[in-house]
Amino acid sequence: MKIVYFLGSFYPAQCGGPNNTIFWQAKELVRNGVDVTVVTTDFGLSKEHIKQYSIDIDGLSDIDGVKVYFCKSYRSSVLSYKVILKFYKMLKDSSFVNITSFFYLPSMVAALCSRVKNIPFTFSPRGELEPNALVYNWPQKRIYMAIFQRVFNKSDFVMVTSEQERDFVKKHFVGKPIEVVPNYLPMGGWNRIERVDLDLRVGVLYLGRLHPKKAIEKLIEAYSNLADVVREKHPLIIAGIGENSYVLSLQKLCEKLKVSDHVSFLGEVVGEEKEKLYRSSKVLVLPSYSENFGNVVVEALRNSLPVIASKHTPWQRLIQVGAGYWIDNDIRSIEESLVDIDRMDGDKYYRMSKKAFELAQNEYSLEKNIQKLISIYQKYMHT
């Protein structure tokens, strides 16, 4: 079986969750004997990335065993005619195509090419069709959907990351087969945090893209309502990047609420530094208005870190297994959850941290679930 992944950017770039998710997925497929090629652009690659991984722009690169074509993009954007040409050439011997993103214009072209060449394909909207995500740039998106939805309707199935996302997608692709494939993450090498280290944890952590749909303002306002003694003990750590104007608005909000001394904006944090944040923080908060999955939740869980997630995210499992909170993303609910975490005795926090680690290992292990993904691809392959 030969699978071609098509997406706008790819690891080691850090332009969004799929950069890492598809990389981990492709890497594990290769380890299980699947021939995988990724066709993408050079968007998001730094000079350091290119040097570290010996990346050959427009040529074939090897990224930890995964074959990748990083095609030159147009003026630092994800648009590239070269990526389409390379993708079309790769279709000759392909048995399946996985396209990431609905509103990425080249995805539509890739879907057309796959259809013309009679190659089975799927696409992953990655939360783009959720109501709270569609409100952003809706006029342009409405035109796009009216024109190109018919093309994506030719896919063999739609791949989504949660039951919640499936319900949203069904409204736009009536009768189309939908397969739920969570963003499984590598679990090898992660061990449960010991009690002595849990007792040292401090800080409220937000980690991810800085964007209005993430409702970071509500987290900041909830944090500002905490008692002074709580803020002294638990600084608010905001790690991630976004539009400069939006980041500035968040910083001004902190000044207005007089909590700037307790809030740190770290910018982009990756690799070991990111893992250190997970291991040292008391709780991760994901207050989003819209989230198809949320890789940061699983990353936190595998580090034994409890999570507070909004009900606009597909993380009801947190309360079902006792690994965190699944709440309305209003200021009061966030505040109450933070207070509960602060007042929690050591034994209860230890049990919640243990449940967090077990949830990640039992339900979101890439190593344990890769055969499910392979079976789905085989199910839709043309005979």
- CATH code of the domain covering residue 262: 3.40.50.2000
Is residue 234 domain-shared with residue 141, that is, in the same domain? Answer: no
pLDDT at position 76: 67
Rounded to whole angstroms, the Cα distance separating 269 from 14 reads 10
List beta partners, residue 238: 206, 265
Q: Is residue 58 part of a domain?
A: yes
Which residues lie closer than 8 Å to 347 by C-beta, 6 or more apart? none
**How far is residue 376's CA from residue 135's CA, in Å, rounded to a whole number?**
32
Q: Looking at the 3D structure of the chain, how many domains does it have?
A: 2
Q: Do 202 and 294 have their domain in common? A: yes
* CA 23/CA 70 separation, integer angstroms: 13
328 and 350 share one domain: yes
Residue with tokens 């993303």: 329
**Residue 42 domain flag:** yes
pLDDT band at 273 (very low <50, low <70, confident <90, very high): very high
pLDDT, tens digit, for every residue of 70-116? 999 987 677 888 999 999 999 988 999 999 999 998 999 999 999 99
301 and 210 housed in the same domain: yes
Chain segment 173-190, per-residue pLDDT in tens: 999 999 999 999 999 888
Q: Helix 138-152 to helix 105-116 angle, to the nearest 10 degrees?
A: 10
Q: For 128, what's the count of Cα atoms within 13 Å in the CB-facing half-sphere?
A: 19
pLDDT band at 214 (very low <50, low <70, confident <90, very high): very high
Summarize pLDDT for 297-315 with one digit per residue, the tens.
999 999 999 999 999 999 9
Instruction: For residues 242 and 164, state if they share a domain.
Output: no
In this prediction, residue 142 carries a pLDDT of 86
105 and 233 belong to one structural domain: no
Domain residues for 216? 195-363
Q: How far lies 202's CA from each of 93, 179, 235, 270, 360, in Å? A: 53, 39, 7, 20, 22
Residue 189's identity, in one-letter code, is G
Assess contact for 282 and 204: CB atoms under 8 A: yes
The pLDDT, as a whole number, for residue 383 is: 64
Q: Is residue 190 part of a domain?
A: no
202-237 in b/e form (b: 16+ CB < 10 A) is: ebbbbbbbbbebbbbebbbbbbbbbeeebbeebbbb
Same domain, 68 and 40: yes
Is 279 domain-assigned?
yes
